[in-house]
Chain A
Amino acid sequence: MKLAPQSIPYRAFQKVAGIVVILFFVVTSNDWGFLTAAAAGGGVLLLALAYEVAYYRRFDYELTEDTLDIASGVISRREREIPYRRIQNVDVSRSVIQRAIGVAAVDLETAGGSSTEGSIRFVTPEEATRLQREVQRRKSDASGGESGKRGADADTRPGSVGPDEEELFAISPGELALVGALSFDGRLIGLLAFLGSGSFPVLSSFVPDASAAAISALAIVAVGLLFLVSWIIGAGLAFSNYYGFRLLRAGDELRYERGLFRRYSGSIPTEKVQTLSISDNPAKRALGYASLSIETAGYAPGQGGNYGSQAAVPIATTERVYRLAHEVEVFGTPSFNRPPKRIRWRYVFRYAIVVGVIAGVAFAIDWYVAADIPWYGALALLLAVPPAAHLKWKHRGYWLGEDHLLTRNGFWSRSVTVVPYYRIQNVIDNRTIFQRRWNVATIIADTAGGSSLTGSDAAAVDFDTDEAVELRATLQNRLQSAVRERRDRRTAFEWFEGDAGSDNSDTDETSTTDAERSTDVPESTDDDPVTEGVVEPDVPDDGPVRPDFSGGDRDYSKPAERIDTGEYAVDRFPSDVDVAHRGRTESESDDTAEDTPVNGDDSDDTHDDSDDANDPANSER
């Protein structure tokens, strides 16, 4: 399919606008004739138009059976196929001008790559909506594994828009006003601080004879003004960003719409949600409000920035935010474990050092420029150190839910991060040299969510080393059991196709076993037979039938454990040979035997023997 025709002139003007501005400056600064400049500008515009016509003719996208194909490029051509299953987000945005001429930009994000993978600029708004819906429909078909049936079904009614939309959240005028009032854009201050940092001594040498009181009054007024302006900027940005915000659920997908000048709408499959984070600050906490953001792996780190295109509920009452969060991920009511109390002393020392440095800098300025600054005033900040340390400690914590890890950090901007165990990619245990002195550690559960640059990783900071080691092991075990459960549900689903009842009972009982697990640390082996008995689906001898996504003739869709080779290996692929003898039950009992050594930090030598005996890989080497 082609782009919208009106995108040709729009794209051309977009490209040329910069050049025209440059030409304007050239004309005004040189004594070129206006005609020459106009001719040059016209020539450039014609060139751009020609290029855009070629781009338009070349650009072609197509929704095939299981991929979205995009052919593009004038000089270097590119053909790209994006499997529907891999698409994370589909975002549509329309600026004021784009709305006036009736075009919309569509961006498709996958987890790979550092930029937007599928960028379609521009199509008509109707086509954009159709693309969004169609991608979702085909994706759920692809993952449902019954594309033939439902695809045919949809062909009979081509105007279908997919499942019904259910509104989860719509911002009210009052809430919008609150978002504006509570938003503060620190960038201006940052910029001024950056520009001003070099010029402070210079400035103060210019005004030596004014009285200190006048200078400080002026400084206070200036700082007040600066904050006011920052606040107005922040409020304006937040207002235009979140105007008309709505969050909808449509089948297995979340959709959002927002924006005053530039309208954004997007879709996030709930299957792709990596983490949720609920954030607030003291003002919001006092008023009983919080905000929610939903993170997927689609956006590269740093992409999107402050007001990114991720769906985020900007503000709602705390209770409502938690209800919305539960709508996406079902976690229980958290009760956070706090770090040991002694760690408050660590923060006291840290802040005291900061205050000392501030006082030192103030003293140095005082001494250097001989202005009469009351530098010792900075020491008054020491009074704030103990409460600050206490608050920092108070707002830290983690909680292990049935299927989720919740972490909480920060006082000024507190965020609670919800990580499903299944989404954990790595578990990192960090101990700085200072933390080692206090005998504490930080455990970070790394996910594929793209927000690590903004520092909202799920981290349990400053916990007792023993507790941290245990937490690390627990997370690893829970991840393993979540993966196992997911895999069993997958196979069970394929086997009991259409039989929703048995499938549900399976998952329910599994979750109760997990509930039992979560009550005691999963080094116990006794509840594992239960898990086996419940989760293990009744698989016929010839193995499960799974959709084959691989291009080669090796059938990777078949799990290696299930290849029945009898007494000796006849598999063509030697890497699987040793696996073939291992039954599922055996590997699970291996896992439970493994649960205990995981806890150990350095004292695992006792278990190594059993490892060697069990793992045929070692006897091979």
Chain B
Amino acid sequence: MTTQTLHPRVRIVWILRSVLVAAVLSAPFVGAFYFGYLPEWAPVGAGAVFLVLGVGHSVLRYRRWSYEIREDALYLDRGVVTQVRTTVPLVRIQHVDSRRGPVERGAGLASCVVYTAGSRGADVRIPGLTPDGASDLREELKRLAIRADGEDAV
């Protein structure tokens, strides 16, 4: 399997989320403006800064995200500020979920979650898949995990 990228629509989900986060973060500034501690431009400026950061982060995040199923492991490459590359050996997969949150359903997307017994990377989420793609990936990983015939080593 070649390196896969996420569905472009996942940016919409992430951007919506960053808009929400920006709104929450700039709420104190709005409050401070309301009670007259800050000039008018402060909440606007703060909101704009948070929004730009969030949207930029979402876009970069989409560009960074890739995953790949190789012969004996699932590779994920992601992260904007801290780049994380995770190797999940197929023999270590415990179970696989495909799931769709409300926002994801709205955008017509789904994600796939791979669980291992590890303590740090116990669950790895691959977002931004089409619903069919997510269940295909789930089936594929299930099949590969069974074929790998591993023990969980715990």
Chain A interfacial positions (CB closer than 8 Å to B): 88, 111, 272, 274, 297, 301, 422-433, 436, 444, 446-452, 457, 472, 475-476, 479-480, 483, 486-487, 556, 559-561, 575-576, 579, 590-591, 594, 597-598, 604-605, 608, 611-612, 614-615, 617-618, 621
Interface check B87, CB cutoff 8 A: yes
Contact A425–B117 (Cβ < 8 Å): yes
**Which residues on A sit within 8 Å (CB–CB) of B148?**
483
CB pair A448–B154 under 8 Å, yes or no, is yes
Most central of B84, B120, B146 by chain A CB within 10 Å: B120
CA distance A422 to B91 in the complex (A): 11
> Chain B residues with Cβ under 8 A from A436's Cβ?
83
A611-B3 Cα distance, complex, nearest whole Å: 12
Contacting residues, chain B, for A432 (C-beta < 8 A): 81-83
A429 and B70 within 8 A (CB): no
Tell me the complex Cα distance, A576–B3, Å. Answer: 24
**A597 touching B84, Cβ below 8 Å:** no
User: Which of B1, B81, B124 contacts A433 (CB under 8 A)?
Assistant: B81
Please state if B1 and A611 are interface contacts (CB–CB under 8 Å).
yes
Contact A560/B70 with A297-B154, A617-B140 known, Cβ cut-off 8 Å: no
Using known A-B contacts A297-B117, A450-B119, A611-B71, determine if residue A429 contacts B136 with beta carbons closer than 8 Å: no
Taken together as a complex, chains A and B put the C-alpha atoms of A446 and B121 apart, in Å, by 7
Question: Which one, B68, B70, B84, B119, contacts A449 given CB within 8 A?
Answer: B119
Cβ-closest chain A residue relative to B148: A483
Contact yes or no, A425 B92, CB < 8 A: yes
Residues of B within 8 A of A457 (CB): 119-120
B residues within 8 A CB of A430? Answer: 82-84
Shortest beta-carbon distance, B56 to chain A, in Å?
Answer: 14
Is B118 close to A, CB under 8 A? Answer: yes
Q: Which of A423, A428, A608 meets B120, CB within 8 Å?
A: A428
Q: Is the CB of A594 within 8 A of B84?
A: no
CA distance in complex: A428, B92 (Å): 14
- For chain B residues 49-98, which have a beta carbon within 8 Å of chain A? 68, 70-73, 81-89, 91-92
Inter-chain contact A426/B143, CB cutoff 8 Å: no
The answer to whether B153 touches A429, judged by C-beta atoms less than 8 angstroms apart, is no
B: residues with CB less than 8 A from A are: 1-3, 68, 70-73, 81-89, 91-92, 116-121, 124, 136, 139-140, 142-144, 146-154
Which residues of chain A have C-beta atoms less than 8 A from B146's C-beta? 556, 560, 575-576
Cα separation A538 to B81 with both chains bound (whole Å): 52
The 5 closest A-B pairs by CB, nearest first: A425-B118, A429-B85, A446-B118, A452-B119, A594-B71
Q: List 17 A-B contacts (CB under 8 A).
A: A425-B121, A427-B86, A427-B87, A428-B85, A428-B87, A429-B84, A432-B83, A448-B117, A448-B153, A476-B89, A479-B89, A479-B91, A483-B151, A487-B150, A556-B146, A560-B147, A604-B68
- Kindly list chain A residues whose C-beta atoms are within 8 Å of the C-beta of B154: 88, 111, 272, 274, 297, 448
Given contacts A446-B121, A450-B119, contact A579 B70 (CB under 8 A): no
Q: How far is the CA of A436 from the CA of B64 in the complex (A)?
A: 15
In the assembled complex, the Cα of A590 lies from the Cα of B90 at a distance in Å of 15
Given A430-B83, A446-B121, A617-B143: 9 more A-B contacts, CB < 8 Å: A424-B92, A426-B86, A432-B82, A446-B118, A448-B117, A483-B89, A561-B147, A608-B2, A611-B71
> Would you call B120 and A472 a contact (CB within 8 A)?
no
A444 CB, min distance to chain B CBs, angstroms: 7
Q: Would you give the shortest CB distance from A370 to chain B, in whole angstroms?
A: 26
Task: Determine the distance from Cα of A76 to Cα of B60 in the docked complex, in whole angstroms.
Answer: 51
Report Cα–Cα, A432/B144, bound state, in Å. Answer: 32
Q: How far is the CB of B16 from chain A (nearest CB, A)?
A: 25
In the assembled complex, the Cα of A448 lies from the Cα of B115 at a distance in Å of 12
- Separation of A433 and B83 alpha carbons in the complex (Å): 8
A611 CB contacts on chain B under 8 angstroms = 1, 70-71
Q: Which A residues are in CB contact (< 8 Å) with B72?
A: 476, 480, 591, 594
Taking a contact as CB atoms closer than 8 A, the residue among A426, A429, A579, A617 that contacts B92 in the complex is: A426
* Contact across chains for B70 and A598 when beta carbons are under 8 A apart: yes
Residues of A within 8 A of B71 (CB): 590-591, 594, 611, 614-615
Q: Is B117 a contact partner of A483 (Cβ separation < 8 A)? A: no
Docked Cα-Cα span, A488 to B148, in Å, equals 13
**A548 to nearest B CB, angstroms?**
14
Asked whether, in the complex, the Cβ of B119 is within 8 Å of the Cβ of A448, the reply is yes
- Complex CA–CA separation, A475 to B73 (angstroms): 12
A615 to B143, CA, bound (A): 13
- B3, B117, B154: most-surrounded residue (chain A CB, <10 A): B154
Could you tell me if B88 and A426 are in contact, using CB atoms closer than 8 angstroms?
A: yes
Provided the pairs A111-B154, A579-B147 are in contact, do residues A452 and B120 lie with their beta carbons within 8 angstroms? yes
CB neighbours (8 Å) of A579 from chain B are 147
When the two chains form their complex, are residues A446 and B120 in contact, meaning their CB atoms are under 8 A apart?
A: yes
A429 touches B86 (CB 8 A): yes
A618 touching B1, Cβ below 8 Å? yes
Which A residues lie within 8 Å of B140 (CB)?
A: 617
Q: What separation, in Å, do the CA atoms of A479 and B72 have in the docked complex?
A: 10
Give complex CA distance A559, B153 in Å.
17
Task: Give the one of A88, A426, A480, A594 with max B CB within 10 A.
Answer: A426
B82's closest neighbor in chain A, by CB?
A432
Is A560 a contact partner of B149 (Cβ separation < 8 A)? yes
A475–B72 CA distance with the chains assembled, in angstroms: 13
Residues of B within 8 A of A614 (CB): 71
Chain B residue nearest to A295 (CB atoms) is B119
Tell me whether A425 and B85 are in contact in the complex, defined as CB-CB below 8 angstroms, given that A560-B146, A611-B1, A611-B71 are known contacts.
Answer: no
**Given A448-B119, A579-B147, A618-B1 in contact, is the A433-B86 Cβ separation under 8 Å?**
no
Query: Contact check: which of B87, B118, B139, B149 meets A447 at CB < 8 Å?
Result: B118
Q: How far is the CB of B125 from chain A (nearest CB, A)?
A: 13
Min distance, Cβ A167 to any Cβ of chain B, angstroms: 28
Query: Do A301 and B1 form a contact, CB below 8 Å, given A274-B154, A448-B153, A617-B140?
Result: no
- B119–A446 contact, CB under 8 A? yes
Most chain B beta-carbon contacts within 10 A, residue among A425, A451, A594 = A425
A426 lies within 8 A of B70 (CB): no
